[in-house]
Structure 1
Amino acid sequence: MQLPVFAAAAQALHFDDLHLNPIVLDIGFLQVHWYSLAYIAGILLGWYYLTRLIAQPNAPMARRHADDLVFYATVGILAGGRLAYVFFYQPDILLHPLDILKLWQGGMSFHGGALGVSLGIVYLARKEGLSWLRIHDYVACCAPFGLFFGRIANFVNGELWGRPTDAPWAIIFPSAPDGLPRHPSQLYEAGLEGLVLGLVLAFFFWRTNARNQPGKLVGIFLLGYGLSRFIVEYFREPDVQLGTLSWGLTMGQTLTVPMLIGGLYLVATASKRPSIDAA
């Protein structure tokens, strides 16, 4: 008797039938990947949206600060994201240190990238005498752009696929083992971490007084991302080199727990911090 997931394989959509190519442009000596364009699009759209946010009354920084922050954030995303991936997900790369620089091959950790951006924000705030927590609030509203494009790039690359399923929208990814139909978990993450979380943050920024309560928006972001990632991990195939850890959670879920705790604390204590009266 066939299990449902095997029976569904005959009707499942094959990834190759989508005719997606991870390489946008190939002229021999130069290859442009969707993965790279996803980061560029996320950073540029995030910067543009940030300039719209700080144009509102009582912004925590000026336009010149936002322009400087783009550089610090880019360095933080690339360095933090790559190093965290290497240390937490694939430490074998340390045996070949130059491979750490091969960002075009994929392998970035959101948690590390977020930490890198946070360090850049703290540096800018201390250098310019600004409120690091309020800057975090505004930057958090821009992060879903990068998350959305990054997950779409993961899908185009045919990587980070989901667990086997007999769902009618399942996809057979050629790089996945056994040729089983799997959840397109990259798209689940793009929808939750990118679209849904972005809309939630936009609502709280534009329709409530949250931006004048230091820490509330970044707290909402941490909670929203943490819950989204924790849930999607049940549909996403655990990293082959790690699997489900001994305490019953994947590495992605484990790294998300501190974010959930921090987000809950920031939201719960936001009303106790000195608020910024709207002009």
Structure 2
Amino acid sequence: MRAAIPFPPISPDIFSVTLFGLDFALRWYALAYIVGILIGWRLALMAVKTARLWPEDKSPMSTAQVEDLLTMVILGVIVGGRIGYVVFYQPAYYLAHPAEALMIWQGGMSFHGGLLGVIAAGLYFCTRNGVPKLQAADMMALAVAPGLLLGRIANFINAELWGRQTDMPWGVIFPGQAAQECGPLIEICARHPSQLYEAALEGVLLGTLLLWLAWRRGALQTPGLVMGTFFAGYGLARFIVEFFRQPDAQFISLDNPLGLALQTGGYGFTMGQLLSIPMILLGIWFILRARKA
């Protein structure tokens, strides 16, 4: 019998209480969002308070402006993330059931859509307040990694967004639908813990690189460099992890078992990879542009 790791007995709920016949619970996923936002907010404040990090030793915005921007960014994540999921992943379903597009409590968020929402919110805020756009983008990019790390760990705890089947010894036996989709003839349904792969690449590795560039290499002195590194780094990490991540069910069929959103002759890209390619190219462009400035 091949080796595999049993899924740890961790409940998605940190605790739950029943009041007046209604159940209220604090979930790890909600806590991940809250703590990730708080850590990102503190990183942004630390950056703007350290004037030497910025061009001409002048911070691009005040601490009060950082807090105002945070509110808009949160709205951008929620609205953009939901619209992105509806448009990128299940447009046909939501065209048939438009009212459900607003039911975010049922799940379904897209990182790439959330990113577009953040970009839109950031552009609006900077234009309205006269804040340098590239410097604000660098600050926001610096603050994202903790949320990515905690969010992916919460995905693992929730046993969602699991990976493809594997016979590697670190494969995890996820419960519920993940096991059912393997079929009754599979003795051990072990899958790549792709959530943890993403946590390591997008959260730990990319986050450490961005902090090192900002505080040790003076990257914030060159507007656009930190943002470009984030775009390229996240896009590359997500592109790689997509080889191990189970694609959304609507892309899988008998003729397309790998769930490729675009394919020719059995080769192609998943939706996550298609959305990551523009990020990689845009990130490289911003890096080259910043280095030439």
TM-score by length of 1: 0.90
- Checking the alignment, whether the CA contact within 8 Å between 1:85 and 1:109 is kept in structure 2 is yes
- Structure 1: tracts of 5 or more residues without a match: 1-6, 274-279
- Change beyond 3 A, Cα 1:104–1:37: farther
Measure how far apart 1:59 and its partner are: 1.7
Cross-structure match for 2:72: 72
- Checking the alignment, whether the CA contact within 8 Å between 1:33 and 1:104 is kept in structure 2 is no
Cross-structure match for 2:31: 37
Within-5 A mapping of 1:1-279: 7-8=1-2, 11-15=3-7, 18-28=8-18, 29=22, 30-57=24-51, 58-91=58-91, 92-174=93-175, 175-176=177-178, 177-178=181-182, 180-242=189-251, 243-247=259-263, 248-273=268-293
SS of the counterpart of 2:250?
Answer: coil
Counterpart of 2:87, as a letter, is F
- Change beyond 3 A, Cα 1:98–1:37: farther
* Distance (whole Å) between structure 2 residues aligned to residue 159 and residue 93 of structure 1: 21
Counterpart of 1:117, as a letter, is V
Measure how far apart 1:33 and its partner are: 1.9
* Distance (whole Å) between structure 1 residues aligned to residue 89 and residue 13 of structure 2: 25
Measure how far apart 1:199 and its partner are: 0.3
* Distance (whole Å) between structure 2 residues aligned to residue 192 and residue 32 of structure 1: 27
Would you identify which runs of 4 or more consecutive aligned residues in structure 1 move more than 4 Å? none
* Distance (whole Å) between structure 2 residues aligned to residue 31 and residue 102 of structure 1: 19
* Distance (whole Å) between structure 1 residues aligned to residue 152 and residue 292 of structure 2: 36
- Root mean square deviation, CA, Å: 1.5
Aligned residues: 263
Could you give the per-residue CA deviations for residues 215-245 of structure 1, whole angstroms, max 9, x where no partner exists? Answer: 1100000111011101011111111112112
* Distance (whole Å) between structure 2 residues aligned to residue 158 and residue 94 of structure 1: 28
Could you give the per-residue CA deviations for residues 19-69 of structure 1, whole angstroms, max 9, x where no partner exists? Answer: 111122322432322222211111111111110011111221111110101
Measure how far apart 1:180 and its partner are: 1.6
SS of the counterpart of 1:181?
Answer: coil
Measure how far apart 1:183 and its partner are: 0.4
Measure how far apart 1:97 and its partner are: 3.8
- Structure 2: tracts of 5 or more residues without a match: 52-57, 183-187, 252-258
Measure how far apart 1:98 and its partner are: 4.3
Cross-structure match for 2:185: none
Identity of aligned residues (%): 46
SS of the counterpart of 1:27?
Answer: strand
Counterpart of 1:154, as a letter, is N
* Distance (whole Å) between structure 1 residues aligned to residue 98 and residue 47 of structure 2: 40
* Distance (whole Å) between structure 2 residues aligned to residue 240 and residue 255 of structure 1: 17
